[in-house]
Amino acid sequence: MTERNIEKHGMQPGDNPGPDGRFGRHGGRFVPETLIPALEELAEIYQDQINNPSFQKTLQHHLTSYVGRPTPLTRARRLERELGAKVYFKREDLTHTGAHKINNTLGQVLLARRMGRKRIIAETGAGQHGVATATAAALFGLECIVYMGQEDIERQRLNVFRMELLGATVVPVQSGSQTLKDAINEAIRDWVTNVDDSYYVIGSVVGPHPYPVMVRDFQRIVGDEARSQLQSEEGRLPDFVVACVGGGSNAMGTFYPFVRDRNVRLVGVEAGGQGLDNMRHSASLTAGDPGVLHGAMTYLLQDEDGQIIPAHSVSAGLDYPGVGPEHAFWKDADRVEYVTADDADALQGFAWLAETEGIIPALEPAHAIGHLKNLPLHEIDGEALILVCLSGRGDKDVAQVARLTTEEEIDYEL
């Protein structure tokens, strides 16, 4: 009934979902019955805390003194000359731990603390969300358990070691394909069993309600800061806002404060991998179909039987077969243009930013950078103004790029 109401009243991009967590036909709560009360409690406490001045004050304090916010907005003057438009990068690469993920894990771990939970659960694919969660858990002295597929553990030894240094326990998951979706199942199983003393930290704007809303609210600081910084620098709104989309949290955080400004074109760049034809990609919005994953209805990479197809991308952080349900709604509502950049575009974007601006980006935002040359700049009157979310730094990717672009084996790892 609620879904019909939403349609009748015409939910608009930027509107919050009702208590059922539906963004149009997407979102919701597709979880075991035993988790419903926990999710309802979480939604309630979250609403309470996010409007609570003392929670906000504590969060702001740690964002400033620990994460290093506000992050700068950097004008890319040399890249601009080659592109023929004015470009600013929002520098999430300069946060503590070097990516936007810490904005969310810090917020959620603070919430867990307010709820009196002593045990933090997370799952991780490439390990970046695991590291960001372990970091926040260490800051507050909470136990931290991270589920990770055996395959991923072998591929990401350095991040496993990082999490262990930070005091977390990494639990190998040997079921199924031994990757992220199996780790998610294990994390949910743990949470069902230990729901009274444990808190499950989800790493992107995905999962059952209220996670997509919570993660969006913790990440919107990226767009809020950028909007006001751009206002000081240029005195106007951007023509384009561009961000890469994996689960969708850096894009959501950057886009959300602009979503009601209809003249601002929002461009979400998915990983086209080795091409959309051969299914070796991560473009769930561009090439997927609606289905249920990780507790929510959204666009997914799936075969005709509804089996999840493993995602592929040169960047491990975009390698997720689903996407946040609010993005799925924004796609249906035609508010955001979702496009793809393939592995080669990303490698080009990676080298381009390094050479023109002296900034080595993570391979994830390198997709957004690689797409800049394909923006329809001619559709803008006068010089176009572009805001790009630089979601993370590229140190973690240097060895891989060396392997892919040179003959040399450079052993930067461990």
Ligand X SMILES: *Cc1c(COP(=O)(O)O)cnc(C)c1O
- Residues annotated as part of the active site: 101, 123, 391
C-alpha 273/C-alpha 276 separation (Å) is 8
Pick 98 or 291: Cβ nearer ligand X: 98
Assess 302 for contact with ligand X (CB under 6 A): no
Q: Which of 11, 79, 94, 245 binds ligand X (CB under 6 A)?
A: 245
Q: Which whole-number Å values give the CA distances from 196 to 14, 35, 155, 186, 400, in the listed order?
A: 33, 11, 33, 17, 41
Dihedral sign, CA of 9, 12, 15, 18? Answer: positive
Smallest gap, in angstroms, from Cβ of residue 100 to ligand X?
6
Strand ranges (E), 307-367 = 336-342
Which residues are CB-neighbours of 247 under 8 A, at least 6 positions away?
Answer: 203, 204, 205, 206, 320, 322, 323, 324
Edge-to-edge strands of the sheet including 169-173? 169-173, 143-149, 119-124, 198-200
Binding segment (CB under 6 A) for ligand X, from list 15-23, 240-248, 259-267, 331-339: 240-248
Pick 198 or 254: Cβ nearer ligand X: 254
Dihedral sign, CA of 8, 13, 15, 19? Answer: positive
Assess 319 for contact with ligand X (CB under 6 A): no
Assess 124 for contact with ligand X (CB under 6 A): no
Smallest gap, in angstroms, from Cβ of residue 125 to ligand X?
9
Do residues 96 and 394 make contact, with C-beta atoms less than 8 angstroms apart? no
Q: Per-residue contact track with ligand X, 194 to 213, x per CB under 6 A?
A: ----------x---------
Do residues 263 and 241 make contact, with C-beta atoms less than 8 angstroms apart? no
Q: Which of 27, 238, 291, 365 binds ligand X (CB under 6 A)?
A: 365
Assess 133 for contact with ligand X (CB under 6 A): no
Residue nearest to ligand X (CB): 392
C-alpha 9/C-alpha 22 separation (Å) is 13
Assess 313 for contact with ligand X (CB under 6 A): no
Q: Which whole-number Å values give the CA distances from 29 to 209, 286, 317, in the listed order?
A: 6, 24, 24
Q: Which of 26, 101, 117, 181 binds ligand X (CB under 6 A)?
A: 101
Q: Could you tell me whether strands 385-390 and 86-91 are parallel, antiparallel, or unpaired per DSSP bridges?
A: parallel
Assess 364 for contact with ligand X (CB under 6 A): yes
Residue 96 sits at φ, ψ, to 5 deg, of -60, 130
Q: Which of 71, 95, 250, 286 binds ligand X (CB under 6 A)?
A: 250
Assess 249 for contact with ligand X (CB under 6 A): yes
Helices (H), 180-313: 180-193, 211-234, 249-255, 284-287
Q: Which of 27, 208, 246, 288 binds ligand X (CB under 6 A)?
A: 246
Taking CB atoms within 8 Å and a gap of at least 24, the contacts of 407-414 are 413/157, 413/158, 414/157, 414/158, 414/161
Q: Per-residue contact track with ligand X, 12 to 51, x per CB under 6 A?
A: ----------------------------------------
Binding segment (CB under 6 A) for ligand X, from list 187-195, 239-247, 289-297, 333-341: 239-247
Pick 233 or 395: Cβ nearer ligand X: 395
Crossing angle of helices 398-405 and 343-357, in 10° steps, is: 110
Assess 349 for contact with ligand X (CB under 6 A): no
Binding segment (CB under 6 A) for ligand X, from list 64-72, 145-153, 241-249, 304-312: 241-249
> Which positions from 385 through 414 interact with ligand X, judged by CB under 6 A?
391-392
Give how many residues touch ligand X by CB under 6 A: 19
Assess 318 for contact with ligand X (CB under 6 A): yes
Pick 197 or 395: Cβ nearer ligand X: 395
Q: Could you tell me whether strands 240-245 and 265-273 are parallel, antiparallel, or unpaired per DSSP bridges?
A: parallel
Binding site for ligand X (CB under 6 A): 99, 101, 128, 204, 244-251, 317-318, 362, 364-365, 391-392
